[in-house]
Amino acid sequence: MRLSLRFLLVVGGVIAAAWLVPIFLTDASGLKFGFPYRVFFTLFTLFAGFLFYLLRGPAVSPIESAPKAVASVVAVFLGSVGLIVLLANLSPQFAFESKAALGQTSQEKGKVLFNDPNVGCFLCHQVAGSGGTRGPDLTRAASVAAQRQPALSAEDYLKESINNPGTYVVPSYDNIMPPYAQRISPEQLRDLIAYLMTLK
């Protein structure tokens, strides 16, 4: 049996779309249609095309019994779901991280850091009613920081409070805050300060 031109156009068109459409997907869409997906989609289309090709010919052996029919449906289902799950793990379809990195301001990144358990600020400090109470409430951090040390701007006070908390220990609190000078990067410090400066 010959392959019809229309058949080849459909299969070719679907595969071409799988490779061309991702070029026009912007990062802002948050969708990532990575290389493994395109290869998978291409093979899947070729396979589906092959099945259609067989269906047109005379030589398909009919499925003889109900159990066999059920078994083959289940096998195809498990096989394709398994493959898709595997691929989804290898290459996440949604690019959350890159989107976050693209669209976030310094203040937003600082807020994320503040609430990141690895950094730990929120474990000791409250902001707007949530967080720990071992350290001072930072709900109005920027306004408070502006008044703590007459010689220091709010930013400089916050910087010193994070880098070397022992320098100016807030009255009635213990000097238990770990110095962050070696623990976070200069960029992270800048982001944290940008966030704290929004708390007035």
Q: Minimum CB separation from ligand HEC for residue 106, in Å?
A: 14
- Sign for the pseudo-dihedral over CA of 117, 119, 120, 125: negative
Q: Which of 11, 154, 177, 199 binds ligand HEC (CB under 6 A)?
A: 177
Q: Which is nearer to ligand HEC, 11 or 162 (CB)?
A: 162
Q: How many helices (H) and strands (E) does the chain have?
A: 9, 2
Q: Which of 173, 187, 198, 200 binds ligand HEC (CB under 6 A)?
A: 173
Q: Minimum CB separation from ligand HEC for residue 103, in Å?
A: 23
Q: Minimum CB separation from ligand HEC for residue 134, in Å?
A: 5
Which tokens go with 68? Answer: 């066999």
- The residue type at 195: Y
Q: Minimum CB separation from ligand HEC for residue 200, in Å?
A: 13
Rama region for 49: left / alpha / beta (φ>0; ψ in -120 to 50; rest): alpha
Q: Which stretch binds ligand HEC (CB under 6 A): 9-17, 42-50, 59-67, 169-177?
A: 169-177
C-alpha gyration radius of the chain: 29
Cα angle 10, 11, 14 (rounded to 5 degrees) comes to: 85
Of 78-137, which residues contact ligand HEC (CB under 6 A)?
119-121, 123-125, 134-136
Q: Minimum CB separation from ligand HEC for residue 102, in Å?
A: 24
Site string for ligand HEC, 129-168 (x = CB under 6 A): -----xxx----x--x---x---------x--xx--x---
Dump strand ranges (E) for the chain: 126-127, 130-131
61-76 burial by CB neighbour count: b if 16+ within 10 A, else e?
eeeeeeeeeeeeeeee
> Which positions touch ligand HEC (CB under 6 A)?
119-121, 123-125, 134-136, 141, 144, 148, 158, 161-162, 165, 169-170, 173-177, 180, 192
